Amino acid sequence: MHEMSIALGIVQLAEKKARESNAQYISKINIQIGTLSGIEIDSFEFAWPLAVKETLLEKAVKILDVVPAKAKCSDCNHDFDIHNIYDACPKCGSYFKHIYQGKELKVKYIEIEK
């Protein structure tokens, strides 16, 4: 389950930033995960409490924003929602597209307490 390693990486990043600011703990963290990021949301949610145990994030409020995938057709310029990387444009049927949203994995912000 690579979601555990992703959660641990986020914890490590957040703790590093908090320590740079001399924080006592992190009160809130906002994480964005795209639906085409390759991360299973349920597995990430399961791994999170284990990853934050005995860290500055242990009591933090976690806000998880799931970002839906969107694409623009390269042939007809139609914007559309995409559920799988291989989805075709619903307007013209083309498989050529630019996926511009939904692959995210980022910490949007952390709130710290000194």
Q: What is the pTM of this model?
A: 0.88
Domains defined for the chain, CATH in brackets = 2-113 (3.30.2320.80)
pLDDT tens, position by position, 30-82? 999 999 999 999 999 999 999 999 999 999 999 999 999 999 999 999 999 99
Beta bridge partners of 109: 30
pLDDT tens, position by position, 74-114? 999 999 999 999 999 999 999 999 999 999 999 999 999 88
Task: Kindly report the number of other CB atoms within 10 A of residue 75's CB atom.
Answer: 13
What six digits make up the tokens of 76?
């007809």
Confidence of residue 1 (pLDDT cuts 50, 70, 90): low
Q: In whole angstroms, how far apart are CA 49 and each of 3, 4, 46, 60, 89?
A: 12, 10, 7, 10, 39
Question: Rounded mean pLDDT of the chain?
Answer: 96
